[in-house]
Amino acid sequence: MAPTTTPDPFAVADVIVTGREFREFAAFVHRQTGIALNEAKRPLVCARLRKRLRHYGYARLQQYYDHLIERDPEGEELVRMVNALTTNKTEFFREAHHFALLRTEILARRTAGPGPRRLRVWSAGCSSGEEAYSIAFTVLESLPGVIDWDVRVLASDIDTDVLARAERGVYLAERAAGVPTALRERYFLRGRGANEGLVRVRPEAARLVTFRRINLRDEAWPIRAAFDAIFCRNVLIYFDRALQQEVIRRLVEHLQPGGYLFLGHSESLLGMGMGLRPVGKTVYKNAPRGERP
């Protein structure tokens, strides 16, 4: 009969770790990143960190952990460890209904309204940039006279590898296949010769986006702006409930009155009492000025 519990010590992908060692390591990862790793994630963690351990010639996760604690004063290996552990799945116009709402509810109203010609959007946990560029394309499409607007999209992530890719703005052409044809033609340059099969985000879209490493787990975020919309999608699922609540509370503090918070398809504010009103599937609106409790 197949064993029902994980053997201890456990070896996957050549990485050896006991249950106790794994729990200690998981607690460290949680303190650093907010990412909650339960016992079921043990094989995944070992597989993802295998290369890092190999780099140092370590066979046991404990040796790598000791290295992080005792021999990584600048935190360089910590950054690599975080980069290896994060899950970065994303795509252009993922959850397309959110971009439809951005267009019809937020941008259309802003265009019609008397407010300042200034727009701030944050893609928090942007991975390799597809979400932030999808926002930029939507803004360019939907704001008439966008040239006269002061538009900034902040795109942040904890993972420096995906951020570097995001900033480059170069993708396999097949990754852009989900972008509506007209937008694909307008906002991507197609690679030729050695770059055949690649596309690059055009400068008019790329210049709207600023990339920064921001760890949502950190006590203080280096952000002063109040945003018209914050996309924090498919990030909070990696945190435990207490941290989800804490991060959402702080995201809301960075929303304009009447601003919008977009969460991922399996995330919700249900039972969190944040005072935001649901306006679509996993989209919430902050109370407008004068209506706040």
Contact residues for ligand SAM, defined by CB under 6 A = 33-35, 86-90, 94, 125-127, 131, 157-159, 162, 215-217, 233-235, 238, 264
d(CA 146, CA 113): 15
- The catalytically annotated residue of 48, 52, 80, 94 is 48
Could you confirm whether 212 is annotated as catalytic? no
Question: In the chain, what is the straight-line distance between the N-terminal and C-terminal CA atoms, in Å?
Answer: 59
**Least spacing, CB of residue 156 vs ligand SAM, in Å:** 7
Catalytic site residue from 42, 80, 110, 157: 157
Closer to ligand SAM by Cβ: residue 10 or 106: 106
Report which DSSP code applies to 106.
Answer: I
Q: Please report how close the Cβ of residue 97 comes to ligand SAM at its closest, in angstroms.
A: 13
Q: Is residue 48 flagged as an active site residue?
A: yes
Residue 213: helix, strand or coil by DSSP?
strand
| Beta carbons of 268 and 285 less than 8 angstroms apart | no
CA 184 – CA 177 distance, rounded (Å): 8
Q: How far is the CB of 281 from ligand SAM (least distance, A)?
A: 14
Decide whether 125 or 259 has the Cβ nearer to ligand SAM: 125
Do the bridges between strand 150-157 and strand 170-172 make them parallel or antiparallel, or are there none, so unpaired?
A: unpaired
Measured from the CB atom, is 58 or 121 closer to ligand SAM?
121
Q: Nearest Cα to 87, choosing from 247, 244, 214, 237? A: 237
Closer to ligand SAM by Cβ: residue 10 or 221: 221
| E strand or H helix at 263 | strand 255-263
Query: CB within 8 A of 222, min separation 6: which ones?
Result: 212, 214
| Minimum CB–partner distance for residue 105 and ligand SAM (Å) | 19
Active-site residue set: 48, 157
